[in-house]
């Protein structure tokens, strides 16, 4: 079983339900017909994904009963703050965070300018403390299936851009469904991200079949397909996709235009807004460390991300990919990403923040550090191994040589050590769902 705790549905109000994890309550979208108060369910990203037979749920809950409270203690102990070593300037800014006041761009900049190791330590501790205050110890793990490395775009930073010479693959719809089935039945995933380059070989009909069949497995279907028409995204929503990942990459429109030939920032932002309006649980974010980017750009990135009001943020460092125009760009420092996570946590305290594979690729220990600097969510790559190696958006991608089981074991162990429990991370519940469509 992968990392997830069953919840009990304790109240229903229209399409919104209240669930309970050992006394902790969350609001979710009731994305299934035929649920009643008293049912046991799995929720992911604020969406009810599956009912669980009572006997099975009670057995699993019995296993978690003691562990859950022990994890909470560990998390609380790791979320303490030691402010002794702070300069008075940084302290004043961080006091504002503690008082739940919003930060000005200049104050955010002053946090990005911190260099002293002790001060950075406190910065991350406070971000972790805010994460704990807002979310308790809940965390979630999504599985990612990278189903095609074809892309019709030529982004200067990306290792699977159209002009890149590399062996290409496309998983058939049957292969994708069977990889999803294995992820659900064998490894226990409750949320699956279906990711690819912008590959129009997968037309609406193929994508709809894929989404519909995977939704029937009782999981949150999360799509990450790049620029597609609003019409396509609407059809996928109607087929049961409930979450979408689409980064805006950078808020600097000149950098955007230069690095993403043939596309522009305004269109991308507009699509992201439209996806949110459709009711998708939205994950967005940006890449940190493009050449020419300043700390001020980073702050603008953070502000644009917040303006888009996503349910989840995803950002990672640029990892220069061989044979791409950006190969040879300077390595991004781990602290720059940790600062980004921490500041994002301050300015949108209730958000969910993902730890990304790019960060893990930059530094194999960074996953844990990110979770202690404000992040609360993770993804595990569950692409079949022979394809995973070919989804080379950047070099030396973390995890490609690992078996899925090993990645899960390592992640669960780390989350245990950090005192994180797999209760739903409570994204803002989606507002609507197509009426009359039974799911699961």
The answer to whether 280 and 237 have CB atoms below 8 angstroms apart is yes
What's the CA gap between 52 and 135, in Å, rounded? 24
The interface region with ligand SF4, picked from 121-129, 157-165, 350-358, 368-376 by CB under 6 A, is 157-165
Cβ of residue 337: shortest distance to ligand 5AD, in angstroms? Answer: 11
Cβ of residue 402: shortest distance to ligand SF4, in angstroms? Answer: 22
146 binds ligand 5AD (CB under 6 A): no
Cβ of residue 399: shortest distance to ligand SF4, in angstroms? Answer: 18
Rg, the chain, Cα only: 21
158 binds ligand 5AD (CB under 6 A): yes
Q: Which of 31, 107, 198, 293 binds ligand SF4 (CB under 6 A)?
A: 198
Q: Which of 3, 68, 124, 157 binds ligand 5AD (CB under 6 A)?
A: 157
DSSP class of residue 372 equals T
* Between 17 and 285, CB nearer to ligand 5AD: 285
How far CA 30 is from CA of 7, 89, 389, 393, in Å, comes to 13, 47, 37, 36
Q: Are strands 7-13 and 40-44 parallel, antiparallel or unpaired?
A: antiparallel
Cβ of residue 321: shortest distance to ligand 5AD, in angstroms? Answer: 5
Retrieve residue 291's tokens.
Answer: 């050449």
Q: Which of 78, 86, 259, 321 binds ligand 5AD (CB under 6 A)?
A: 321
Here's the x/- map for ligand SF4, 207-226, by CB under 6 A: it reads as -------------------x
Residue found under tokens 């761009």: 105
- Cα 355-356-357 angle, rounded to 5 deg: 135
What's the CA gap between 375 and 338, in Å, rounded? 9
Q: Which of 393, 404, 425, 427 binds ligand 5AD (CB under 6 A)?
A: 393
* Between 223 and 393, CB nearer to ligand 5AD: 393
**Contacting ligand 5AD within 195-254 (CB under 6 A):** 247, 249
* Between 119 and 146, CB nearer to ligand SF4: 146
DSSP class of residue 101 equals P
Q: Which does 394 bind (CB under 5 to 8 A by kind): ligand 5AD, ligand SF4, none?
A: ligand 5AD
325 binds ligand SF4 (CB under 6 A): no
319 binds ligand 5AD (CB under 6 A): yes
The answer to whether 90 and 123 have CB atoms below 8 angstroms apart is yes
Q: Which of 4, 49, 158, 362 binds ligand SF4 (CB under 6 A)?
A: 158
Retrieve residue 263's tokens.
Answer: 């596309």
Closest-CA residue to 376 (of 137, 21, 27, 144): 137
197 binds ligand SF4 (CB under 6 A): yes
The answer to whether 425 and 139 have CB atoms below 8 angstroms apart is yes
What's the CA gap between 339 and 116, in Å, rounded? 13
193 binds ligand SF4 (CB under 6 A): no
What's the CA gap between 432 and 424, in Å, rounded? 19
Closest-CA residue to 23 (of 7, 45, 47): 7
228 binds ligand SF4 (CB under 6 A): no
153 binds ligand SF4 (CB under 6 A): yes
The interface region with ligand 5AD, picked from 13-21, 210-218, 236-244, 316-324 by CB under 6 A, is 316-324
What's the CA gap between 425 and 233, in Å, rounded? 24
**Contacting ligand SF4 within 383-402 (CB under 6 A):** 393
What's the CA gap between 254 and 232, in Å, rounded? 28
Quick count: other Cβ atoms within 10 Å of Cβ 102? 12
Cβ of residue 195: shortest distance to ligand 5AD, in angstroms? Answer: 7
160 binds ligand SF4 (CB under 6 A): yes
Q: Which of 155, 321, 341, 344 binds ligand SF4 (CB under 6 A)?
A: 155
The interface region with ligand 5AD, picked from 97-105, 254-262, 312-320, 413-421 by CB under 6 A, is 312-320
Retrieve residue 43's tokens.
Answer: 């929720």
Q: Which of 287, 353, 375, 398 binds ligand 5AD (CB under 6 A)?
A: 287
316 binds ligand 5AD (CB under 6 A): yes
The answer to whether 43 and 100 have CB atoms below 8 angstroms apart is no
Closest-CA residue to 141 (of 421, 378, 370, 371): 378
Quick count: other Cβ atoms within 10 Å of Cβ 307? 11
Q: What is the DSSP string of 339-368?
A: HHHHHHHHHTTT-EEEE-HHHHHH-TTHHH
Q: What does the binding site for ligand 5AD look like in residue numbers (CB under 6 A)?
A: 157-158, 247, 249, 287, 316, 318-319, 321, 358, 393-394
Q: What does the binding site for ligand SF4 look like in residue numbers (CB under 6 A)?
A: 151, 153, 155, 158, 160-161, 197-198, 226, 393
């Amino acid at each position: 079983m992968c990392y997830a705790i069953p919840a009990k549905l304790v109240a229903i109000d229209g399409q919104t339900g209240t669930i309970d994890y050992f006394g902790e309550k969350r609001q979710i979208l009731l994305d299934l017909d035929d649920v009643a108060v008293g049912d046991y369910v799995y929720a992911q990203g604020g969406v009810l994904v599956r009912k669980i037979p009572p006997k099975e749920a009670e057995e699993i809950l019995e296993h978690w009963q003691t562990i859950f409270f022990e994890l909470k203690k560990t998390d609380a102990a790791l979320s303490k703050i030691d402010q002794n070593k702070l300069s008075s300037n940084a302290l004043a800014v961080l006091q504002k965070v503690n008082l739940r006041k919003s930060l000005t761009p200049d104050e955010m900049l002053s946090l990005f300018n911190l260099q002293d190791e002790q001060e950075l330590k406190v910065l991350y501790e406070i971000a972790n403390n805010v994460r704990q205050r807002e979310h308790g110890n809940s965390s979630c793990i999504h599985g990612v299936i990278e189903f095609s490395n074809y892309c019709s775009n030529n982004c200067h930073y990306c290792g699977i851009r159209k002009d890149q010479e590399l062996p290409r693959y496309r998983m058939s719809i049957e292969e994708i469904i069977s990889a999803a089935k294995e992820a659900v039945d064998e490894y226990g995933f409750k949320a699956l991200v279906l990711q690819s380059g912008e590959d129009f070989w997968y037309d609406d009909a193929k994508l709809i079949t894929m989404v519909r069949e995977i939704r029937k497995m009782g999981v949150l279907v999360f799509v990450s397909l790049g620029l597609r028409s609003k019409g396509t995204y609407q059809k996928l929503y109607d087929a049961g996709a409930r979450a979408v990942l689409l980064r805006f990459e950078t808020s600097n429109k000149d950098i955007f235009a230069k690095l993403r030939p043939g596309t522009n920032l305004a269109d991308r932002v507009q699509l992201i807004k439209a996806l949110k309006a459709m009711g998708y649980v939205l994950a967005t974010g940006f890449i940190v460390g493009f050449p020419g980017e300043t700390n001020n750009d980073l702050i603008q990135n953070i502000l644009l991300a917040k303006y888009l009001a996503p349910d989840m943020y995803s950002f990672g460092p640029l990892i220069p990919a061989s044979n791409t125009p950006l190969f040879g760009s300077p390595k991004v420092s781990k602290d720059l990403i940790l600062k980004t996570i921490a500041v994002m946590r301050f300015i949108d305290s209730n958000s969910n923040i993902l730890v990304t594979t790019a960060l893990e690729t930059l530094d194999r220990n960074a996953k844990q550090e990110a979770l202690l600097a404000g992040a609360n969510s993770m993804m595990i790559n569950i692409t079949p191994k022979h394809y995973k190696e070919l989804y080379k958006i950047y070099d030396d991608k973390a995890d490609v040589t690992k078996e899925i089981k090993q990645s899960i074991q390592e992640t669960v162990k780390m989350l245990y050590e950090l005192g994180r429990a797999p209760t739903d991370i409570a994204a803002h519940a989606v507002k609507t769902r197509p009426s009359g469509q039974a799911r699961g």
